[in-house]
Amino acid sequence: HVLVEYFDYQCAACREMASYLESLVAKHPAEIAVLLLPVPLEVSCNSYVSESGKRPGSCEIARIALAVWRANPNEFKGFHRTLSSEPSLDSARRLALELLGAERLKSSLSDPWIEERIRHNVLDWRALSKSIRNLPKLLVSDRRILHGLPSGEADFIRVMEQELGL
């Protein structure tokens, strides 16, 4: 089963969902994968966010995360886990520099794919958010969309196991 999560690193509910998903995958490692799609909640790269709801640095954090994934997908899981617990632009830069070095990070950040990916993620999030704009959004088996954070990790795992027949 592939779950698709739309999230912002600076969103507290998204960080909590990241730990729920990590627990779910740890419990069912052979049955579940999670596709992570950053949706920065910052008006400079997401025109659907109001000025009052902006999260400064979210666009650049998403760019850096995508650059790390693009340049070194094998190291992305650890990068994502650490960045989810330290969601600042400084942390993103520091971690990316440690993994890629300055030249490789600069080169990766210049890849036009990154801006295109963010644009598509934002458009998808917008299409899925006609009634509820909360993040995180989790697509489950093309049948269900979870908007926002569930009531707790145990309930989340129980519902996911039921929904996925695990």
pLDDT in tens, 114-147: 999 999 999 999 988 877 777 888 988 766 778 8
Across all residues in the chain, what is the average pLDDT? Answer: 91
pLDDT in tens, 68-98: 999 999 999 999 999 998 889 999 999 999 9
**Percent of the chain residues topping a pLDDT of 70:** 96
CA distance 76 to 33: 14
Q: What share of the chain is helix, strand, coil (3-state, %, to 5)?
A: 55, 10, 30
